Structure 1
Amino acid sequence: MEPTENNQNFNHWDILQAQIEERAPGSAQGPIAEAGEVEAIATAPGDVLAGGTPSSPQSAQRAPPIIMDSMSGISGNPLAEVPDTEFPSQDGLNEKIIDLVRFLLVKFRRMELTSKEEMILRAMRDYEEHYSVIFSKAAECMKLIFGIDMLEVDPFVHSYFLHPALGITYDGMLHGVVGVPKTGLVIMVLCIIFIEDNCVSEEVFWHVMNTLGMQAGVDHFVFGEPRSLITEDFVEEEYVEYRQVPNSHPPRFELLWGPRAYAETTKMKILEFYASIVRQDPRSYPEKYAEALREEQERA
């Protein structure tokens, strides 16, 4: 697909084409500058893998189906969900979705509540009538890319608290690109390991990561250098075990869930997370669902 073919649709992975940077206090360029601290500016729209090195046909075929399904299922046309009355421009609507994601990243970093009223005021002025679609797309993007859930704490005023998804307590904001949540990357790594029978070779793992636009040794514009992040920081935090394959010459390595992953989340939560992203029932993956269900029963 040529980049221009998809430039009319908001794609959740456009937010991965963001430059996250510190802003000087007092800067006054739009609602996020007023809120301070973090700016995420979406750049070149395009295919799901835009911004990363295209994977080889072999790596694309080797990628677990659930991962590839998630890539094909997350893009969409937000205008399809907007009432026929007074259509906004597509670019304008996409911009407001991105503005809201930027604002929510600031609220997460500050550990502050936000509300429908504040989100409208700070991130979607003149688009109040399209609040529901802007909010749903931004919330989905926060969950998929950054691993951040929005918990409604007061349904009367629609106030929300942002927290890491799936019971994971690590946000990773001190690792890689400082100030950017990495919970979404942790979840992606755990999913790849789970789908690959709970132990994935380093070669296969990086084939899959390449399809997501992340290469070992190459800085990623959101997460930083992924190899050191995953095999050092995530290992140090005990979400990932990175070990040499016994008796391998030359040495080969593999990745497994670490003890903290097993303590904080479950295979079922990981499977349900991605099933919700691709809008399928977890039972669509019968073998993995059965495995996750057995773990749930053993934990009970």
Structure 2
Amino acid sequence: MNPTENNNESFNFLNSPQAQREENGLEGANGPIAEEGEVEAAATPSGDASVGEMMGSPHNTERASSPPTAEASDTGAPSVEASGNSVGEAAEYESPFEAALNRKIVNLVRFLLVKFRRMELTSKAEMMRRAMRNYEEYYSVIFSKAAECMMLIFGVDMMEVDPFIHSYFLFPALGITYDGLLHGAIGVPKTGLVLIVLSIIFMENNCASEEVFWDVMSTLGLYAGNNHFIFGEPRSLITEDFVQEGYVQYRQVANSCPPRFEFLWGPRAYAETTKMKVLNFYASIVKQDPRSFPERYAEALREEEERA
């Protein structure tokens, strides 16, 4: 696929000043949520914006069927920092109540990350007691936004195991068995980044050139050679750890001189998840119906039928 032939969506990510300020200030959050240094990073939406909006959402439906590629940053697609609805701007105007609510969301994300690392169950009562003291009446709002953050940013899903006491177990999403806790930024789940990488490759017709791949990643605030405040240094994480884990193929383009490289799904990605699941994940980020990407949706359906 030639990226210059497409009108493409920006696939923006956690590069907002407020998200990084929240990450740097997690240890000072209200209440004894976790031991010092136990969670290195988390993020929060701002004001009434959802996590999907914070990460970037389509700015017009006519262009929604195109995958994210290098051209996205040049076509007027809104970035987290440039958009008039940006997280950074919203933070300047949020009310004291919104700011307090966002702190509770950060508290809960931080608490849930600890539970995920420890492979422990948690419950509604424990979450209210440990992460949202004095804001219990807003439990549904705080819980839903924190759960969305856990899924879209960290790739961690939550399953209710006891509907009577509302207890939950946290696990890597979409069938992925790798959490990446020991790679990159130690202690932070990397499943979300695995899913983002698989999404980019799939939306680039199953093969993303290195140039396009890193151009897209730069719109997410992820740059080869630069540490990201959540994921660490992305090049080594993706081209070494994700490759070794079998989720990504990173290979030289045949007969290319000078050498050029490209990214494809690895065998473990095909074994553990599906194109439809990855498409649904991507669609949830850009706030579109998966059918808004007709070619990719048809391909994902064909794979579902072949696997049946």
- TM-score range (shorter-chain normalised) is 0.7 to 0.9
What is the match of residue 38 of structure 1?
39
Q: Distance in 2 between matches of 1:17 and 1:198?
A: 36
Q: Could you say what secondary structure the match of 2:198 adopts?
A: helix
CA contact (8 A) 2:181 2:188 kept: yes
CA offsets per residue over residues 36-92 of structure 1, 9 Å max, x none? 822546699799589xxxxx99451489x9x989x98x989xxxxxxxxxx971110
What is the match of residue 261 of structure 1?
269
Given candidates 156, 179, 183, the residue that maps to 1:148 is 156
CA contact (8 A) 1:180 1:222 kept: yes
The offset of 1:284, in angstroms, is: 1.4
CA offsets per residue over residues 230-280 of structure 1, 9 Å max, x none? 000000000000000000000000000000000000000001122233443
Q: Could you say what secondary structure the match of 1:175 adopts?
A: coil
Measured on the aligned residues, the alpha-carbon RMSD in Å equals 3.7
Given candidates 218, 224, 228, the residue that maps to 2:236 is 228
Amino acid at match of 2:39: V
Q: Trace 1:83-162 onto structure 2 (pairs within 5 A).
A: 89-162=97-170
Structure 1 residues 213 and 12: alpha-carbon distance in aligned structure 2, compared to 1, 3 A threshold: closer
Structure 1 residues 105 and 20: alpha-carbon distance in aligned structure 2, compared to 1, 3 A threshold: farther
Structure 1 residues 153 and 16: alpha-carbon distance in aligned structure 2, compared to 1, 3 A threshold: farther
Amino acid at match of 2:73: A
TM-score normalised by structure 1 residue count: 0.79
Q: Trace 1:187-198 onto structure 2 (pairs within 5 A).
A: 187-198=195-206
CA contact (8 A) 2:155 2:195 kept: yes
Moved more, 105-114 or 267-276: 267-276
Q: Distance in 1 between matches of 2:102 and 2:216?
A: 28
Amino acid at match of 1:60: S
Q: Distance in 1 between matches of 2:116 and 2:174?
A: 16
Q: Could you say what secondary structure the match of 2:262 adopts?
A: strand
Q: Distance in 1 between matches of 2:206 and 2:138?
A: 42
Percent identical: 69
Q: Please state if 1:282 is matched with 2:290.
A: yes
Q: Trace 1:10-29 onto structure 2 (pairs within 5 A).
A: 15=19, 19=23
CA offsets per residue over residues 166-217 of structure 1, 9 Å max, x none? 0000000110111110000000000000000000000000000000000000
CA contact (8 A) 2:190 2:231 kept: yes
Q: Distance in 2 between matches of 1:146 and 1:16?
A: 15
What is the match of residue 5 of structure 2?
none
* 4+ aligned runs moved over 3 Å, structure 1: 11-23, 33-36, 39-50, 56-59
- How many residue pairs get matched? 268
CA contact (8 A) 1:17 1:222 kept: no
CA contact (8 A) 1:151 1:161 kept: yes
CA offsets per residue over residues 134-179 of structure 1, 9 Å max, x none? 0000000000100000111111111100000000000001101111
Q: Give unpaired runs (5+ residues) of structure 2.
A: 1-13, 48-52, 57-68, 88-94
What is the match of residue 91 of structure 2?
none
Amino acid at match of 2:139: Y
What is the match of residue 167 of structure 1?
175
Structure 1 residues 57 and 195: alpha-carbon distance in aligned structure 2, compared to 1, 3 A threshold: closer
The offset of 1:29, in angstroms, is: 7.0
Amino acid at match of 1:175: H
Structure 1 residues 44 and 128: alpha-carbon distance in aligned structure 2, compared to 1, 3 A threshold: closer
Q: Give unpaired runs (5+ residues) of structure 1.
A: 1-10, 51-55, 77-86
Given candidates 70, 73, 86, the residue that maps to 1:60 is 73
Given candidates 222, 225, 228, the residue that maps to 1:214 is 222
What is the match of residue 59 of structure 2?
none
The offset of 1:285, in angstroms, is: 1.0
What is the match of residue 8 of structure 1?
none
CA contact (8 A) 2:156 2:172 kept: yes
Q: Distance in 1 between matches of 2:213 and 2:20?
A: 20
Q: Could you say what secondary structure the match of 1:215 adopts?
A: coil
